[in-house]
Structure 1
Amino acid sequence: MSQKAWSKRMAVTVRLNDSEQERLRRKAIELNKVLINRGLEPIKDSELVHRILDQAIEATEVSSSGEIIIVLN
């Protein structure tokens, strides 16, 4: 499938377990407090997931032992 065709596909559902959902909710609350204190609009949990994925996908690599890791700069 071409990149163009892939980008036009409908949204895909990703299931988060209870722990992941709770961690995401807590992080969104933490970040939204900062945004609101700076006079900015809060973001939805779903938007936070998109932003995390956008940044993490490019930073994801395979370690020498075969583990999937995110390399932070």
Structure 2
Amino acid sequence: MVAGNEGMEGLIPIVNRLQDAFAQMGVNMALDLPQIAVVGGQSAGKSSVLENFVGRDFLPRGSGIV
């Protein structure tokens, strides 16, 4: 990450754990999170960029995925 974002680097896994815990309890934890758009060709690494940014796998991969 860019210098000055050290706190954010540690915050992302904490938010991910909180979201998982609330989901297991059936609680809808609505956070006002930023929205990001990624544009690029097929197999250009868009999913990888987003997953690396948030620190978890969440998008489908593979052939035939549209």
TM-score band by shorter chain is 0.3 to 0.5
Larger RCO (CA within 8 A; separation ≥ 6): 2
- State TM-score, norm by structure 2: 0.37
TM-score, normalised to structure 1, is 0.34
Of Structure 1 and Structure 2, the greater strand share is in 1
Larger Rg: 1
